[in-house]
Chain A
């Protein structure tokens, strides 16, 4: 008698556990306002990423087409994957001094791991995160980008040398020498 009772007890407790799960899913079925998915391609225009969002490395230019990159190459040294190439050239200014400016700042998005070291170590804050995230392309060569715009020039800023920047620069010079040797 007892075993028969237990048999039915088990059936009822099993059904109750299933009913508990069904109640959760059923309650969401009746409340469609709780749906959390985004209609992505439809909301492209309104979609706003967070300010800190790591989309891609970019070089901000101001309204006069000027950037802050001096072409020191610290980002290139610090990049662990070799996704940054700084190609600089030497020009002679009107005063007769030779100056190093960047020719091309090449960024390989296909190799970037978004570790933020280039942006963090840049002594002149020339690099920043871009917000673009739609990186899918049909041709891999499109992922190699030139960050400085055509015809852009260096923005002359009043130098305020913080000690931290000095040490970075000193070390980078040292490292440059080592790599040259």
Chain B
């Protein structure tokens, strides 16, 4: 951002901004649309519950997985959801540290998105266990059998990485939320809201001493969250790269996964930003300039992901290893070539429209491109899993994978698991950071006076 262009329109007051944003939970403006969205989301959540009950009664055999394709949808959607979550942390933490003020209108719902996307991701390995009641075997406890979890395996790293990520995201989200909960508490007129915000704000009073400690804690947590994101998704990629399967066993995987994660996540942030601003009339806070910047970030991360695609091919060709080459050919022309070309087309073709400023600044265009990216990244994760597994070294372990009804129902169910708590959060807490927006507004007005 150049210093002279203001991202927030300065013809608004701090008081007006506070009333507008605390008003969304306190005097909910879009009841009808919220109820409709909630109905759809709850139906999907119900579908998940049915699918999980079916899974727990009948076992993972109801899914399309088999030997050799024994990971498929469960791990594929796990990676997809987790990747989406990462953009929330990156927007919030990385852009806080670099002083990019435009994040202030986006960080709260991006972090909220992270929380629930990680929950959706987290349930998948659990469902995939087969015997989920033994999940505590992942933790080191003094078992009567005298064995311990194997810390030299990426599968064991996974649970530590995901639980840490969830906990730290929650801590970061809540730390940033406390001052806004206090603002909502002071505006609340109904008893129930006063009690709710009164307790959740923890008695925050905006004391200068408190702000000082708060700022240090918030910035340092942000500083920890950035390497955490990189480590978590690198670790996820090691689930694959540490194995010997052709198409997985590659050093390019950690950066390739992290960039792809950021790419899909920024797409979902764009979808939510466009939806929320039209839903609640927040054009004064989520401006066309914000969409412009989101579009640029989406384009940049997309091109970096594209670079990963190129180098994945180069890696295989350069290795000259017969099985690597075979997997590459399978990806281009095999039974699942549609996932490869689908990923390439959905990820990178509509994306090119973002080179034009008018496209980036138009809400619905950005929305459509983002939806395309989300589909593309979903196909990419499908491709990485299935095309590598369905044909590995020996012909005797060649097979096929077809997702079953329960694969799909579980997947659509997790979308409900994401949307229901997200919609509840929209209803309960300020979805745009109030105090940071005010701080930015004040700085902009100052700049105008002196400039």
A-B interaction: no
What is the interface of chain B, defined by CB distance below 8 A to chain A?
A: none
Residues in chain A within 8 A of chain B (CB atoms): none
